[in-house]
Structure 1
Amino acid sequence: MGWLVTVVSVAVFITAYLGLRVIRPLPFSAWTKRLLFLLVALLVIGQRFTWVFRFNGYHHELIDGLDLAGYTFLGFVSSFMMMLLARDLLFIVLRIINYLRPKDTRRIFFKEKQRNTRRAWLNATNALILAVAIPLTAYSTHIARGLPGVTEVDIAVSDLPKQLDGYTIAQVTDTHVGPTLKGPWVDQLVDLINAQNPDMIVHTGDMVDGRAWWLRPDVKHFEELEAPHKFFITGNHEYYSHALEWIEEARSLGFTTLVNESEVVEVNGARILVAGVPDSKAGRFYDEHTPKPREVMDQAGEHDFSLLLAHRPDMIDAADEADYDLQLSGHTHGGQFFPWTFIVGCFNPYVYGLHHHGDTALFVSRGAGYWGPPMRLGAPPEIVLITLKRK
């Protein structure tokens, strides 16, 4: 309930801000402005009501279309508003500078002539920002809804057995199959992963955004993934969408699901420990899903190399303390699109790429899909092909 209140509050603020700073200065009739305001309110706030339909068990392609339109507009508004806020911040600074000047040299902003000039300035800068935001949104949407790239990463491991030198792991994460990423995209993604011919495939969470009863036809393509070993762990979005359902669904798709569990994979006599823990906040939903990487390691069988699958990179301290060799994570999306690419680091110890934390290596993927607005800017989608190398 708290999350819903937050979302609606932000949507109301966005609608009010756009109404005051963009719609109100326009040289249109009062009725035209009211219609524009209602249209913005419908796109920003009304799209949230698709949740109500799905919560009550109703699904239709029209609802998916409304979600795509609403989320795209939300992404556009996010970029547009950041530029507006930057402009308004500059305007405030100029007002303060003007106020600090001697009284006889100050500009008077509230005379009718000055008011008209300010309105014209607002409309002109709004038009300029709009001219930048629209093509930027179109480009970002094109990148997000296309196929991800393949990032190849070599990870050197001390004392790695010769049998594991060159062993490949395909990491896919944050696919977010849901209202705007559907079965045809998943089908192409599966073909892309299979083309890498990996020895192991791991999905490190946030496979979906929605309930199993309406997304089952879209995720069924994951059962066509081809590798000797396939593993899945839960991300935070599985818990927003009845995680227990998705754990069973992942098993039916051919994944070995790891919920504070591990499995030893043998490769020509060498042994890889694959451990998996739930999302770091999963204990809020189910007590038994509180992540326990130390206990998983303590109960693990003998092995030559240890791999921890953890959705969020914030598990790295526990992974290092438990002596895992490598942790694979996602969750951050690399920020997904500007300006969040600069903000996401405030909430995560690592945002993207290969890092060495103590004696544990960590790779954080930007993910293959997107959440919310179908936009990627400065953080293109990816699948990761990891090759273990003997140091």
Structure 2
Amino acid sequence: MLRWIILFVFVVLVELYAFQAVKTLTRIKWVLIAYQVISLLIVVYIFYSFATQFDRSVGQNKHTLFTIGLLLITYIPKMLLMAFMFGEDIIRVIGGFLKEFSGTTNESFLTSRRKFVSQIALGAAAIPFLSLLYGMTKGKYNFKVHKKTIYYPDLPDSFDGFTITQISDVHSGSFDNHHEIEHAINMINEQKSDIILFTGDIVNTHADEMNPWIETFRSIETPQFGKFSVLGNHDYGEYVTWPSQKDKNENFEAIKDLHRQIDFKLLLNENVKLKKGDDEIALIGVENWGIGFKQAGDLVKASEGIKQTDFKILMSHDPSHWEHEVKTHRDNYHLTLSGHTHGSQFGIEIPGFVKWSPIQYRYKQWGGLYENVGRYIYVNRGFGFHAYPGRVGIWPEITVLELKKGPKVA
């Protein structure tokens, strides 16, 4: 009960301060009334949606995605407004006390609000509002191809120039635009890589989320060395309440079968050998293993029959697996491919200048290529989206990696 009271008080304060900013700029009655009515309707809709739509037996769907998006696009700008207006209030109160101590009693204790502060506040609030709006309408399908070349002195000669296309975190239950997804699939096919690897989270929760998209993803062309995949944390149905364990198990089996339906070979703590000429490399796929998430991955089992000296590519959904087990493992896993973080779907990336996302405070490796004494991990920023129905600054990614034989190039 207490948390609801705190939440109510917080929402009231945010709304009051946001209204003060609007009121400072205009006194037109119908504008102020319209603002209040719209704000009230949004608040009622959000509270109603959280009370009725967020069902643990259903999980996330398009309605909950919209509600979360509306919540963020409404209250992040308003909280920024509140910060500006509250800061002004602090200055006004300090000024009032100074007047009292100086004996200036012929003026009111608080000075009136200054219009330029409200203008600055509204201008600042417009930045996250427009960014989040763009992220929800355009950014979530603003697919980018990220290309990297990685050098290994011990790469088998026949695999010099070997190319990998990686996708991750499809979250098909969130999609709402067939044309955009088909365009992204065409982008994958245009890369003409030697192998395609998918590092988990095909759905949000339920296997049937993928049904409208099976034909689309099946159109990913099968390259010379095939298409392989692993499971992510969302593929286990852990985040909803199931009528019975039997229902949960059936959903899990159906999710695993989705990979067969889109012509991907699902690796469940197992490995395959990729042969080219007289050489071979090992492709290893573990089930999900993550700090704070399901740990079904078994690296020992997945690596059965592989020698320490073999060149290894590991598919593991959660990059915390690399941080806590793989990067210092005695068996030397040359390249790990992960996803999971989505880059928080929010951040700033300007190559060579800045790379920031709030997810970096949770994961040391959250987007792009990282190295530890010649062992690499690439963390894909995700193909789809989840929770917030958009992307701002961290765009959906198709990764293309080229393996080259030789020393690391500066």
TM-score, normalised to structure 2, is: 0.76
**Residue 45 (structure 1) aligned to one of 44, 47, 64:** 47
**Residue 170 (structure 2) aligned to one of 163, 168, 175:** 175
Alpha-carbon distance in structure 1 between the residues aligned to 2:360 and 2:153:
29
Residue 326 of structure 2 aligns to which amino acid in structure 1? A
Alpha-carbon distance in structure 2 between the residues aligned to 1:136 and 1:305:
43
2:369 is matched with 354
**Residue 319 (structure 1) aligned to one of 323, 326, 335:** 326
Q: Report the Cα offset of residue 308 of structure 1.
A: 0.8
Number of equivalenced pairs:
374
Structure 1 stretch displaced more, 203-212 or 137-146 = 137-146
**Residue 55 (structure 1) aligned to one of 55, 58, 62:** 58
**Residue 77 (structure 1) aligned to one of 74, 78, 90:** 74
Q: Report the Cα offset of residue 250 of structure 1.
A: 1.4
Q: Report the Cα offset of residue 338 of structure 1.
A: 4.0
Alpha-carbon distance in structure 2 between the residues aligned to 1:81 and 1:262:
51
1:378 is matched with 393
Kindly indicate whether residue 285 of structure 2 is the aligned counterpart of residue 279 of structure 1.
no
Structure 2, unpaired ranges of 5+: 24-28, 241-250, 349-354
Residue 15 of structure 2 aligns to which amino acid in structure 1? G
Kept in 2, the 8 Å contact 1:177–1:219? The answer is: no
SS in 1 for 2:123: helix
**Residue 222 (structure 1) aligned to one of 217, 228, 236:** 217
Cα deviation code 1:35-79 (max 9, x no counterpart)? 4444222443344444449829xx9xxx84x45643432342364
Q: Report the Cα offset of residue 123 of structure 1.
A: 5.6
Task: Evaluate the alpha carbon distance shift between residue 163 and residue 93 of structure 1 in structure 2; reply closer, same or farther with a 3 A threshold.
Answer: farther
SS in 2 for 1:207: coil
Alpha-carbon distance in structure 1 between the residues aligned to 2:307 and 2:40:
61
Kept in 1, the 8 Å contact 2:165–2:401? The answer is: yes
Q: Report the Cα offset of residue 259 of structure 1.
A: 2.3
Structure 1, unpaired ranges of 5+: none
Q: Report the Cα offset of residue 257 of structure 1.
A: 1.2
Cα deviation code 1:163-211 (max 9, x no counterpart)? 1011111001122222344544332222111111111111112222241
SS in 2 for 1:152: strand
Kindly indicate whether residue 142 of structure 2 is the aligned counterpart of residue 140 of structure 1.
no
Alpha-carbon distance in structure 2 between the residues aligned to 1:296 and 1:211:
26
Kept in 2, the 8 Å contact 1:270–1:304? The answer is: no
Task: Evaluate the alpha carbon distance shift between residue 207 and residue 98 of structure 1 in structure 2; reply closer, same or farther with a 3 A threshold.
Answer: farther
2:262 is matched with 253
Kept in 2, the 8 Å contact 1:323–1:359? The answer is: no
Alpha-carbon distance in structure 1 between the residues aligned to 2:304 and 2:297:
14
Alpha-carbon distance in structure 2 between the residues aligned to 1:107 and 1:337:
49
Matches within 5 A, 1:120-159: 124=119, 127-159=122-154
Alpha-carbon distance in structure 2 between the residues aligned to 1:299 and 1:234:
22
Kept in 1, the 8 Å contact 2:169–2:201? The answer is: yes
Structure 1 stretch displaced more, 26-35 or 302-311 = 26-35
Task: Evaluate the alpha carbon distance shift between residue 78 and residue 390 of structure 1 in structure 2; reply closer, same or farther with a 3 A threshold.
Answer: farther
SS in 2 for 1:279: coil
Matches within 5 A, 1:329-340: 329-338=338-347
Residue 39 of structure 1 aligns to which amino acid in structure 2? L
Alpha-carbon distance in structure 2 between the residues aligned to 1:211 and 1:309:
23
Alpha-carbon distance in structure 2 between the residues aligned to 1:106 and 1:275:
78
Task: Evaluate the alpha carbon distance shift between residue 11 and residue 245 of structure 1 in structure 2; reply closer, same or farther with a 3 A threshold.
Answer: farther
1:194 is matched with 189
TM-score, normalised to structure 1, is: 0.79
Q: Report the Cα offset of residue 385 of structure 1.
A: 0.6
Kept in 2, the 8 Å contact 1:270–1:303? The answer is: no
Kept in 1, the 8 Å contact 2:201–2:232? The answer is: yes
Alpha-carbon distance in structure 2 between the residues aligned to 1:50 and 1:323:
47
Residue 390 of structure 1 aligns to which amino acid in structure 2? K
2:17 is matched with 21
Structure 1 stretch displaced more, 226-235 or 37-46 = 37-46
1:310 is matched with 316
Kept in 2, the 8 Å contact 1:282–1:291? The answer is: no
Residue 47 of structure 2 aligns to which amino acid in structure 1? I
2:156 is matched with 161
